[in-house]
Structure formats: structure tokens, C-alpha cells
């Protein structure tokens, strides 16, 4: 059961990172961070067809980053903050992990610099 949860979480993270890897999709997410918008409004500033922008939107929807809802005949898009919260949580866990590792390495280096062990050249010969 735990393995399925981990696999599911990993698949969701993979989908979000893959969706956000494209600059057009990141620009769409940035636009939607200000407010929800109609698909045509999202497509307007891009130098590509509405169909091409729609493909980008479908990737964002499939990853869970963007949600679509209808109001009458209009399709509106908004950000699903839950998927981004999951990514934020993963990044935070990685930050804590690496900070702990770097802190441990810093302690080891400080200890090595504080108490240098004499090497073969540093030892004084003792006459018998």
C-alpha cells in the first residue's frame, strides 16, 4: 500500500515537473497566478495558434496544475494550487535534506581544520 502511494506521488510530481519544463506552459501558469482566465485570453499574447496553446493547456490540465471549468459557453482556467503545494513540499524536503548534509560536512571540515594530525614530514625524529 505504501509503495503505491509513493509511486502515485512520484508520478504526480513527474507530471508537474514535465509540464512546467516548457517556457510557454510556465508563462501560462504565471498568467493564471494573477486570476482565472478564458482560454482565448490565455492564447492572445502567444505567437502561435489557438490550437497550439490548447495543447499546452491540456498538458497542464493532465498534470493537475491547471483546472478548467465552464460558465455558460465559456471555458475558464485556473491554477490548482494543490499540485503546486505538493511540489513545494517536495522541494522543501530536499532543501532540509541537503542543508543537513552540508551542515554535517561543514562540521567535519571545521573539525579537520581545528585538529590537524601531523603527517610523516611533520613528525620529529626521536633519537634512541
Please list the pLDDT of the chain residue by residue as tens digits (128 residues).
777 777 788 899 999 999 999 999 999 999 999 999 999 999 999 999 999 999 999 999 999 999 999 989 999 999 999 888 989 999 999 999 999 999 999 999 988 888 656 666 655 555 55
Residue 121, in any domain of the structure:
no
User: Of 56, 51, 69, nearest to 20 (Cα)?
Assistant: 56
Residue 128, in any domain of the structure:
no
Task: Centre a 10 Å sphere on the Cβ of residue 76 and count the other Cβ atoms it contains.
Answer: 17
Q: How far is C-alpha 94 from the geometric centre of its chain's CA atoms?
A: 10
The backbone region for 121, taken as left when phi is positive above 0, alpha when psi lies in -120 to 50, beta otherwise, is: alpha
Cell of 54: 490548447
Cell of 5: 502511494
Residue 123, in any domain of the structure:
no
- The three-class DSSP label of residue 21 is coil
Domain count of the chain?
1
Residue 104, in any domain of the structure:
no
Q: Residue 10's domain is classified under what CATH number?
A: 1.10.10.10
Amino acid at each position: 500500500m505504501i509503495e503505491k502511494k509513493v509511486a502515485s506521488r512520484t508520478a504526480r510530481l513527474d507530471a508537474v515537473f514535465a509540464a512546467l519544463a516548457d517556457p510557454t506552459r510556465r508563462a501560462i501558469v504565471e498568467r493564471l497566478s494573477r486570476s482565472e482566465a478564458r482560454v482565448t485570453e490565455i492564447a492572445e499574447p502567444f505567437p502561435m495558434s489557438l490550437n497550439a496553446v490548447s495543447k499546452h493547456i491540456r498538458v497542464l490540465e493532465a498534470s493537475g496544475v491547471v483546472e478548467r471549468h465552464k460558465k455558460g459557453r465559456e471555458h475558464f482556467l485556473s491554477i490548482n494550487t494543490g499540485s503546486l503545494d505538493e511540489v513545494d513540499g517536495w522541494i522543501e524536503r530536499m532543501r532540509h535534506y541537503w542543508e543537513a548534509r552540508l551542515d554535517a560536512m561543514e562540521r567535519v571540515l571545521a573539525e579537520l581544520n581545528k585538529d590537524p594530525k601531523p603527517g610523516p614530514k611533520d613528525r620529529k625524529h626521536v633519537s634512541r
